[in-house]
Amino acid sequence: MNSKIKKFTEPPFWDNFLETEPLCKSLVENFASIKQESLRLKKFGILYGKFPVSEIKLKNHESLKFYIITKTVKWSIAPFFGSRYDTHARRRASKLMLLKADIGAVFIRLLCPKTYTLLRDLFKKKIVLNAYFTIASPGVHIKPHIHPISDGIHRMNIHLGICCDPEAKVTVGEETRTWEEGKLLAFKNSGPYRHSVEHKGTQDRLILIVELDVKYLEPYGVYKGERIKD
């Protein structure tokens, strides 16, 4: 099939493997434990990297160009594997930031043993490329973008809804969805479709994101595809 056709005919959201793929099934089956651990991390908020972003910072920091966030709004993450997952991220971060991410990841794994156990072996096999809890507070707006491809690897984002707000929405291509507690959604963060997030609700949206190597999902009919070029 012509690659130009492929990139426009594949679905924005991939639902076909969410009920059968072993890791996805495990995330849903262990949702109660994952939620408990994520709320434990939220209680120790210092473990989350907090990024209050002003318009001035947006002009001066290339890595923040996708985020339009007021001074009072925060987008926070708690990565399980620190700085080891992404060559692109390592290139754009300072040594101090990488060290803080690695130290923080140790505490995150200790405070979230069940979640870490579900991810550990697949990370060692380079099937899971990254995993983190992330909080978006009301007011967050992430412009449409495609995540940079790192090391030539295309990534599938698996999102597990934990604490959700119906007015917090993610758009991939022209399709918009909202997160639901204990349920999964999946899309490629490396394209072909751009994705964006807008939170117009009143409470924090908390989810677990797991990034999988797309090659692992080929038995389910997922293919690498092509990025849309302007």
Report pLDDT digits (tens) over 38-69.
998 888 764 455 444 444 444 444 444 444 44
Is 94 a domain residue? Answer: yes
Query: 44 lies in which domain range?
Result: 26-214
pLDDT the model gives residue 63: 46
Is 226 a domain residue? Answer: no
All residues at 6 or more sequence positions from 207 whose CB lies less than 8 Å from its CB, including other chains: 133, 134, 159, 160, 161, 162, 164, 179
Mean of the pLDDT values across residues 133-162? 86
pLDDT the model gives residue 65: 44
All residues at 6 or more sequence positions from 142 whose CB lies less than 8 Å from its CB, including other chains: 66, 67, 68, 75, 196, 197, 198
Is 224 a domain residue? Answer: no
pLDDT the model gives residue 64: 44
Which residue type is seen at 15? Answer: D
Is 176 a domain residue? Answer: yes
All residues at 6 or more sequence positions from 118 whose CB lies less than 8 Å from its CB, including other chains: 23, 26, 27, 30, 34
Residue 28 and residue 182: Cα distance in Å, rounded?
Answer: 6
pLDDT the model gives residue 15: 95
Which residue type is seen at 204? Answer: D
pLDDT the model gives residue 94: 65
Is 20 a domain residue? Answer: no
Is 43 a domain residue? Answer: yes
Q: What is the CATH number of the domain that holds 93?
A: 2.60.120.330
End-to-end CA distance of the chain: 22
When divided into structural domains, the chain yields a total of 1
pLDDT tens digits along 159-218 = 999 999 999 999 999 999 999 999 999 999 888 899 999 999 999 999 999 999 999 999
Mean of the pLDDT values across residues 12-29? 96
Is 118 a domain residue? Answer: yes
Is 100 a domain residue? Answer: yes
Q: Would you say the pTM of this structure is higher than 0.85?
A: no
